[in-house]
């Protein structure tokens, strides 16, 4: 089986030729019927005014079109408006005068046309996109009836067929109307009564939707009241006879509705024109305008209706509030999700920053340590330059033991390290004058000789006998001194 879109394209290509065949009243895409029962096979369906056993070959409908099966259905549809002679008015279906105007109730023009009054159904409340005022939505053939209408024609609720009185039951005035290749629609102003964006027996209008084959639908009309059905055809092209003043009009891209016979024998009847048809979610899919005596019904897609009449559906404030709450709830959930992600990201950034900071600190410490060592080295360098006895000593040598400059190790002939050039212990200059014991003894004797003026002869020691040399062994003394000198050079 071909895809639905492919079947629709083949139907659109073939319908012009099919309408040239004698007796054809419509072409659509829908379910094939066998022995009056619907099957699940989707075909190109050709409607005829009357089925005949014998058909001329030139008017015979092909069994297939480019591989797609066809089905021939006996179908002739009319506008579902109800009219009655003014003098013969009697109680009809819903004759209620609604204090609060809403969808699914009786409405009709105050004026008479050739002695007749007309009735149909107020589909629902809409909003005029030009004025932003609430308006009443119904069909062209309900509010205008024919081509003798004028803007400002008064509307009655209930209609005059349903005992409504001109002036007393006036509910508004005709504002604009359209009868085109897609739409049979009209709108009236609303005055004198409050309104509600709901449909009797159905509830609040929730928006709009597209028709889906075999989906369940509902409507509330002035004549048959609340009924149920199924979408039976889409992309339908149908010829509708609007009477002498208008004639036959061809409407395309229409939707076919079959009744749910387990609930109601008919989906609509005369007087139900103008009803809106809703899906299971109370979303409007179309505006009812035509049907046949069996209760099969055709509706204009709501998208065409809203566009060509320049209106929007009235959505009850509670529904709007609920939608707003749902949107607000969704927004909060999104915001919360973003916040959680942000917090996680912030924690991750903090962790990363901490690690980066630690890494940077370690690098800084290494750099600072290196710079500090360099700085200390420079300070040491400058410090040792300033020391008079350490000029020329480099900072990298400061940690080594520093000793006075010494001559080569004592060999008995080199000078001892000079302790002082002019050492004065208080008893005159004390200068070693040489490196040997003999030199030292000679110096001591000279010093003692210098003290003659202060020490009497009786107190002077006798040095002629070598008293000092008798007190200690000279060889031992010299050995000790050599050791001391060697130790000081280590």
Specify the CATH number for the domain of residue 247: 2.40.10.120
54, containing H or E segment: none
**For the chain, what is the domain count?**
4
More confident residue, 352 or 193: 193
What's the N-to-C CA distance of the chain in angstroms? 116
Q: Is 435 exposed, middle or buried (0-12, 13-18, 19+ CB in 10 A)?
A: middle
Determine the pLDDT at residue 387.
54
Is residue 395 scored above 80 in pLDDT?
no
Taking CA atoms, 417 is separated from 168, 192, 391, 481, 488, in Å, by: 145, 135, 20, 13, 10
Grade residue 489 by pLDDT with cuts at 50, 70 and 90: low
User: Both 96 and 71 in a single domain?
Assistant: no
* 307 and 237 inside one domain: yes
Claim to verify: residue 141 and residue 239 sit in the same structural domain: yes
Average of per-residue pLDDT across 254-269: 96
Note the pLDDT of residue 88: 54
**Domain end position, chosen among 75, 91, 125:** 75
> In terms of residue numbers, what domain contains 420?
408-490
Same domain as 220, residue 139: yes
Phi, psi of 424 (to 5 degrees): -125, 95
Distance from CA of residue 219 to its chain's centroid? 37
How far apart are alpha carbons 169 and 452 in whole angstroms? Answer: 165
Q: What's the mean per-residue pLDDT of the chain?
A: 81
97 in the same domain as 194: yes
Angle (nearest 5°) at CA 388 between 383 and 394: 45
Which of 315, 335, 354 terminates a domain? The answer is 315
What is the pLDDT at residue 119? 94
| Residue that finishes a domain, picked among 41, 75, 109 | 75
């Amino acid at each position: 089986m071909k895809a639905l879109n492919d079947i629709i394209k083949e139907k659109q290509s073939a319908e012009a030729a099919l309408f040239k065949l004698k007796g054809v009243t419509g072409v659509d895409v829908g379910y094939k019927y066998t022995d009056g029962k619907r099957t699940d096979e989707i075909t190109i369906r050709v409607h005829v005014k009357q089925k005949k056993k014998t058909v001329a070959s030139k008017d015979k409908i092909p069994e297939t079109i480019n591989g797609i099966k066809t089905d021939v259905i006996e179908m002739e549809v009319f506008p579902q408006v109800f009219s009655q002679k003014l003098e013969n008015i009697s109680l009809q279906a819903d004759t209620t005068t609604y204090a609060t105007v809403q969808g699914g109730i009786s409405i009709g023009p105050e004026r008479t046309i050739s002695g007749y009054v007309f009735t149909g159904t107020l589909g629902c409340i809409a909003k005029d996109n030009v004025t932003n005022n609430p308006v009443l939505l119904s069909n062209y053939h309900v509010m205008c009836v024919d081509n003798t209408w004028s803007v400002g024609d008064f509307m009655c609720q209930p209609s005059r067929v349903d005992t409504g009185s001109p002036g007393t039951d006036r509910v508004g005035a005709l504002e604009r109307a359209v009868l085109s290749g897609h739409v049979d629609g009209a709108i009236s102003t609303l005055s004198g009564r409050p309104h509600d964006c709901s449909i009797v027996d159905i509830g609040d209008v929730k928006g709009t939707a597209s028709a889906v084959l075999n989906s369940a639908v509902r409507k509330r009309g002035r004549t048959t009241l609340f009924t149920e059905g199924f979408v039976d055809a889409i992309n339908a092209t149908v010829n509708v006879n609007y009477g002498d003043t208008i004639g036959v009009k061809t409407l395309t891209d229409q939707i076919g509705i079959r009744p749910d016979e387990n609930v109601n024998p008919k989906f609509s009847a005369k007087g139900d024109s103008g009803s809106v048809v809703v899906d299971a979610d109370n979303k409007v899919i179309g505006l009812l305008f035509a049907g046949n005596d069996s209760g099969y019904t055709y509706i204009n897609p709501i998208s065409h209706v809203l566009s060509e009449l320049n209106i929007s559906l009235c959505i009850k404030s509670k529904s709007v509030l609920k939608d707003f709450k749902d949107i607000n709830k969704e927004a909060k959930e999104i915001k919360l999700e973003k916040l959680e992600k942000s917090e996680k990201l912030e924690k991750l950034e903090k962790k990363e920053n901490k690690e980066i900071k630690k890494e940077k600190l370690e690098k800084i410490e290494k750099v600072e340590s290196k710079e500090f060592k360099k700085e200390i080295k420079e300070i040491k360098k400058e410090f040792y330059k300033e020391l008079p006895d350490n000029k020329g000593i480099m900072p990298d040598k400061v940690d080594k033991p520093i000793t006075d400059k010494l001559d080569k190790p004592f060999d008995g002939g080199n000078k001892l390290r000079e302790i002082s050039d002019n050492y004065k212990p208080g008893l005159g200059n004390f200068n070693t004058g040489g490196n040997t014991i003999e030199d030292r003894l000679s110096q001591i004797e000279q010093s003692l000789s210098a003290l003659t003026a202060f020490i009497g002869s009786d107190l002077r020691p006798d040095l002629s006998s070598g008293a000092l040399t008798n007190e200690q062994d000279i060889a031992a003394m010299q050995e000790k001194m050599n050791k001391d000198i060697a130790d000081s050079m280590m």
